[in-house]
Structure 1
Amino acid sequence: MRKEFTTPGGEERLQSATARQSPPYPPGDGKVKLVTTDWLEDHLQERGMTVLDVQPNVHDYIKEHVPGAIYLNEGFLRVPAHGFPTSYGPQACMQESFRRVGLAADSPVVVYTGKGAFSGIGDGLAQTMMAYSLAKFGHNTVYVLDGGIDKWKDEGRTLSQEFPAVDPSQFTVEVRGEYPIGYEDFKQVKDRDDVVVLDARPAKVYEGQGPWRKPGHIPGAISLPWRSLMDDGNPMLLKPNDAVIDILEQHNIDRSKTIICSCGTGREATNEFLLFKWYFEYPDVRLYEGSYTEWTAYPENETVEGREARKKPVAAAPSR
């Protein structure tokens, strides 16, 4: 059974208890990889490497950050477009922001977040949201700090309050349109037998009422809360590979199908997009950026309440 979820290639790597201790993980030419706190400390002085602190509030960064880290809040990524509240900003804005923090597309950038030592509002998703966005807009070597700054602090590593000098870069945005899937394409393919749609929101929201105009979930979407994949005490730390594989098996998510990651606004789904596309190297992974917010913006779209992915058919009344 397990082999279905890790083939082709990489079964031994995925099952190895020490695989992620040989970062960057996984090996190969993927755009996004995991690195450990040990690795980051060993490479902090590496020429050409940028460390981005994407903690939830600038005061969190001011209070403490990894030495040499530059602050870039994820909030700049999305702005309203024609009233829709969670669209990506203009490419020119993305490009200017990435230039201001000195990014070069082929030089490594490490991204981390935390719960927020000052604000206390961090949910752990800022680093996956930023990593996905960097890759989408043309960066080629993105590293996510497994465990974030919280793990760094727990291990007693050095923190700083210094703001590093940064030389602007000439980063050029090149959008990778094969990562997201738009609304019309999503509607066309979501119910195909060779497609699995995942919903990364908490189970109680998937089953019932969240902030959206309609309760429930997109018909056919399988509940896979992103938080279930992470360490119980640290939302930035991915569970051991074997534990994650067990969860995927329980949900019958295999490599032979197209995986579409969704959630509420496209942010929680970045956690699972990174996992499937880059950490576990599934061959066909997309992210429905509009997610449930866009789906429910169309009143004619049906939704499903409860634990089942689809509405159960109503039994026909017995004939007399």
Structure 2
Amino acid sequence: MEEKMFTRGGMDRLQARTDRENFPYPRGDGKVKLVNAAWLANHLHDDNLTIVDVQPNIHDYIQEHIPGAVYLTEGVLRVSNRGFPGSYSPNACLQESFRRAGIEADSPVVVYTGKGTFSSAGDGLGQTMMAYTLAKYGHNRVYLLDGGIDTWKSEGGELSQDYPAVEPSSFTAEVRDDYPIGYEEFRQIKDNDDVVVLDARPAKVYEGKGPWRKAGHIPGAVNLPWKSLMDEGNPALLKSNDELDMILEEHGVDRSKTVICSCGTGREATNEFVLLKWFYLYPNVRIYEGSFTEWVTHPDNPVVEGPEPREARAEAAPAR
């Protein structure tokens, strides 16, 4: 019965979701896994565990954080490059940032964020952005805390205002360049029948209400707002697998195809990349880091406004 319900995903997807309650999730050797507050509470004092707090503002961290967590702002991950605003920082800069946080490539690191008790500026994306970047630059055991610090608190987790004594690590940045897809390759394959392009931005932005020089979205991109995958009250908490399955089916996210995750600047897309590649074990997932920002820097590239992936083509009037 379930096989018929999930025809595109089939048994592969069902197998990937059967052990959601067994953490770290899923099983196997994936670079990024999901853990929950109960798992972290049981492993909080493991000698080889590093906890990274990526709350939206340093004052959020100062006011409260999970015991032992080191603050690592998401802002170090990207800088302008030749004027383009959404480029990743140089390898040496990321390497030094991870070293100062005491992160070792083969030791587990738990990443979490929150709404921000002080700033109220958290949107939930900090932890997928950090998890993706760690894995891209060579980390092998990234654990993402489902629900972040807000779920941790709601389940009675201990909080601290102490700063841990951190010894710098010997982390070496080694880029896994099979995760992102560059502009030229993206442009060449995005319209292929075996490719699905997702746009993770909110529907109103996808349809044409964003800040870019051109309004709308990349032709052919299917709108799958990343927030639709998350709990309504906590943007760092994933919905149940049953709910996620239905959403993916409704949007035609077929695991037999290459799925390219995109958004506005490549940040929102990390949410869907992490979900599909590492939690749902899709075999061919890429992330277009340049996303819509890069697409519209090329004046000749077309865009589409409105809710449909492509513009409706009016049929020619019959000859009289």
Query: Is TM more than 0.5 here?
Result: yes
Does structure 2 retain, via aligned residues, the 8 Å contact 1:66–1:158? yes
Corresponding residue for 1:60? 60
**Which aligned pairs between 1:196-211 and structure 2 lie closer than 5 A?**
196-211=196-211
Does structure 2 retain, via aligned residues, the 8 Å contact 1:146–1:237? yes
* Pairwise CA distance, 1:208: 1.6
Corresponding residue for 1:9? 12
Corresponding residue for 2:139? 139
Corresponding residue for 2:122? 122
Give the Cα separation in 2 of the matches to 1:64 and 1:2: 44
The one-letter code sitting in structure 1 at the alignment partner of 2:7 is: E
Deviation >2 Å, runs of 4+: 1-10
* Pairwise CA distance, 1:155: 1.6
- Pairing 1:262–2:262 present: yes
* Pairwise CA distance, 1:107: 0.3
Instruction: Out of 273-282 and 247-256, give the one that drifted further.
Output: 247-256
**Which aligned pairs between 1:79-98 and structure 2 lie closer than 5 A?**
79-98=79-98
CA shift in 2, pair 1:282/1:12, >3 Å: closer
Does structure 1 retain, via aligned residues, the 8 Å contact 2:49–2:108? yes
* Pairwise CA distance, 1:154: 1.3
TM-score of the superposed pair, with normalisation by structure 1: 0.97
Corresponding residue for 1:227? 227
The one-letter code sitting in structure 2 at the alignment partner of 1:11 is: L
Q: In structure 2, the residue corresponding to 1:228 is in which secondary structure? A: helix
**Which aligned pairs between 1:211-250 and structure 2 lie closer than 5 A?**
211-250=211-250
* Pairwise CA distance, 1:2: 3.4
- Pairing 1:46–2:46 present: yes
Give the Cα separation in 2 of the matches to 1:97 and 1:266: 20
The one-letter code sitting in structure 2 at the alignment partner of 1:2 is: M
TM-score of the superposed pair, with normalisation by structure 2: 0.97
Give the Cα separation in 2 of the matches to 1:11 and 1:227: 23
The one-letter code sitting in structure 2 at the alignment partner of 1:103 is: I
* Pairwise CA distance, 1:253: 1.3
User: Matched residue pairs, number?
Assistant: 317
Give the Cα separation in 1 of the matches to 2:214 and 2:280: 33
Give the Cα separation in 1 of the matches to 2:81 and 2:14: 43
Instruction: Out of 247-256 and 132-141, give the one that drifted further.
Output: 247-256
Does structure 1 retain, via aligned residues, the 8 Å contact 2:6–2:249? no
Give the Cα separation in 1 of the matches to 2:118 and 2:226: 25
- Where do 5+ consecutive residues of structure 1 fail to align? none
CA shift in 2, pair 1:13/1:162, >3 Å: same
Does structure 2 retain, via aligned residues, the 8 Å contact 1:4–1:255? no
Does structure 2 retain, via aligned residues, the 8 Å contact 1:2–1:249? no
Does structure 1 retain, via aligned residues, the 8 Å contact 2:67–2:160? yes
Give the Cα separation in 2 of the matches to 1:227 and 1:193: 27
* Pairwise CA distance, 1:9: 2.8
Corresponding residue for 1:306? 306
Give the Cα separation in 2 of the matches to 1:2 and 1:173: 42
- Where do 5+ consecutive residues of structure 2 fail to align? none
Q: In structure 2, the residue corresponding to 1:196 is in which secondary structure? A: strand
Q: In structure 2, the residue corresponding to 1:139 is in which secondary structure? A: coil
